[in-house]
Structure 1
Amino acid sequence: MSNEIVTTRHLPEHPTAASPSAYLGRVLSERPVLRIGSRTSPMAMAQARQVQALIAENADIATEIIGIETSGDRWMGDLAELGGKAAFLKEIDRALLMGRIDIAVHAMKDVPGDVPMPEGTAFAAYLPREDVRDVLVVREGSHYKLLEEFPPGTKIGTSSVRRKAQLLKHRPDLHVDRIRGNVNTRIARLDEEKRFEAIVLNLSGLHRVNLAHRATEVLEPDIVCPAVGSGVIGVQCRTADTHIAELLRLLDDPTTRTHITAERTMLHGLKGRCNSPIAGHCHTTADGQLSLIGMVFTREGGTFAYSHEWDSVDRPAELGAYVAADLLRKGARGIIDGSLR
């Protein structure tokens, strides 16, 4: 199967000549087309189209989306056997480094913290953060809508050990098992196979594929703390392509970048594998402080380490490093490595 399975083009109206985007558009117009690399799942393609539309608003340049089917998309087993979530990135990274694409679009929750970014690349833009919360999606015909309504032994499906650990911490009487596939596939399997009573998915992701109506309960962060990078789309480019980097910076949301810096610094400090049950969420409080929650769980949720700290908005990396160190002091290393049960 060819990796290049979808191509779309968009040529926007000319912006005003005085704008920075017009200048960048003239410089970039020397390229025949700006190639946007993405995974091929419906959600990933929706994210790529979102980036394409924002580029159209900011520069007079033709774009096309190049769909790349990754080994992570093809594999239906345990992701740990493929090296974790890096399996969703390596083919796209290779295409970027070899010049087959000019930028790459990623859901930041799928970007591992224990695998270095390819040398010569950087995330030049983080789009404004969307809803970070997870939701319950029950199968068609179910008698239940809320987590508290499920009787003991009810089967819940999720592809995330982070979700499994927190669900079992909250409801240890449930049976939580793995279900893989993109969001559309998982919902279809939920309805058709009737193996699970419900599955847990991300709300912003459901919105992107027009399936938010299937959510029956929003699981607030005190029940299921979000994944690091949840609700954020990152756009990666080669650092040597300075004009592309400048264009992408027009899309960058500074507040989201601050929050992501804190979360990913924490993730890097923990050196957790992609399949480690690690949760983390940063936001700005009403009084202007950065708040960062970090949690590490055993797979069944019976043991966990928790840290919640604050710092000023100009110190996200320092806050992330402190929370990571605090979690390690509380036993996170043993939990991540599996020595604590």
Structure 2
Amino acid sequence: MADAELIRIVSRSSPMALAQVERVRAELGALRPDIRTTVVPVTTSGDRWLGDLAKLGGKGAFTKEVDAALLAGEADLAVHCVKDVPADRPLPAGTVFAAYLKRDDIRDALVHPDGLTLDQLPAGARIGTSSVRRVAQLAVSHPHLTCVPMRGNANRRLEKLAAGDADALLLAVSGLARIGRPELASEVLSVETMCPPIGAGVLGLQCREDDGGTIEAVAGLGDADAWRETTAERMLLHVLQGHCNSPIAGYARAERDGRLSLRARVFTPDGKTVLDAHEWAGPLDPATLGTSVAVALLRQGARELIDSIPH
């Protein structure tokens, strides 16, 4: 942190990304009123990073852009939806998660213009989603529905729904809340109906690991339960070496008495094969729990299943 009183937060310009940054600014302002924050918008990784792109290590252009801004010293802090950060590889060298914020709702919501629920949708209804995790699970529970690919941020997908590109959407409850449209959910799906992605509802604060000033300033925003749950989930994904086309779902839950559990599922894209594991750990080591659940899935054939999916 070049200026002890200023933290530069890198963000892309989508409404959800900016809403996430505003949450961090508000929480940091309450905790540390002595610190000012400013937002650094990102352009493309190629524009910003003149070195070897392979050094950025990320899959998505978004994480590459953000990593580049951090590593180049153009920003001090990045705010990520943890579910979007690859876990089959380490964070880019020189960066670290300094804190995970208190977790939001991890569930998915159905958005239907007439307020129908998933079970009320007629055969052939088109569900807009590009998530392999959602597609696989819908193939199991509602095989009479049709999934149509739909990318873009939540606002863009809602525009496509309004334009008739799909009959309904599946979106994260936390995403709808972040863009200020929670009332659009016609049904909130249980985690049994739609197992969430790894890292759902968690915002991670990424810094340069040598930037002690920023790390110290934002560490107080961290939530202990979110840290334990996310550590277990990301270790699971790391051991499974899941790629972005792998239908892997799961969530850890820290109970009030300190116990921690992790449930995880691996699917074939058509949903015909489902591997399932659920274990409890003592209060001590979330990473070991993540490893143990991953090994239970590997014993059931998860490696072959994941490797058979093109990516």
* TM-score clears 0.5: yes
Q: Which residue of 2 aligns with 1:152?
A: 123
3-state DSSP of counterpart to 2:196: coil
DSSP 3-state at the match of 2:60: helix
Partner of 1:121: 95
1:88 to partner: Cα distance: 2.1
Following superposition, the deviation at residue 209 of structure 1 comes to 0.6
1:250 correspondence with 2:223: no
Matches within 5 A, 1:211-230: 211-230=181-200
Query: Can you list the C-alpha shifts for 1:46-103, whole angstroms capped at 9, x where unaligned?
Result: 00111111221222022101122457xxxxxxxxxxx985332011101100000011
The 5-angstrom pairing of residues 114-193 of structure 1 reads 114-138=88-112, 140=113, 142=114, 145-192=116-163
| Other-structure match for 2:266 | 296
How many angstroms apart in 1 are the aligned matches of 2:44 and 2:108? 25
Between the two proteins, the alignment pairs up a number of residues equal to: 298
Structure 2: which 5+ residue stretches go unaligned?
A: 46-56
Is 1:312 the equivalent of 2:286?
no
Amino acid at match of 2:222: D
Q: By how many angstroms is 1:241 displaced?
A: 0.9
C-alpha offsets along residues 309-330 of structure 1, whole Å, 9 cap, x if unaligned? 1111212111000000110111
Q: Distance in 1 between matches of 2:228 and 2:12?
A: 26
Q: Deviations over 1:143-166 (max 9, x none)?
A: x61111112221111121101111
The SS at the match of 1:89 is helix
Q: 1:75 — aligned with what?
A: none
Q: Counterparts of 1:84 and 1:163 in 2: how far apart (Å)?
A: 23
Select between 213-222 and 168-177 the one with higher mean Cα deviation: 168-177
Asked if structure 1 preserves the Cα contact closer than 8 Å seen for 2:252 and 2:260, the reply is yes
The answer to whether the 8 Å contact 2:198/2:234 transfers is yes
Q: Which runs of 5+ in 1 are unaligned?
A: 1-27, 72-82
Quote how far apart the aligned CAs of 1:195 are.
2.5
Q: TM-score, normalised by structure 1?
A: 0.83
In percent, how many aligned pairs have the same letter? 47
Q: Which residue in the other structure is 1:282 paired with?
A: 252
**1:106 and 2:77 aligned:** no
RMSD: 1.9
Amino acid at match of 1:325: V
Distance in 2 separating the partners of 1:167 and 1:52: 37
Question: In the alignment, which of 182, 200, 204 is matched to residue 170 of structure 2?
Answer: 200
Q: Distance in 1 between matches of 2:17 and 2:3?
A: 28
Cα distance between partner residues in 1 of 2:183 and 2:61: 30
CA gap 1:304/1:87 in 2 versus in 1, 3 angstroms: farther
Superposition TM-score, scaled by structure 2 size: 0.91
Which residue is 2:54 aligned to? Answer: none
**Partner secondary structure for residue 288 of structure 2:** helix
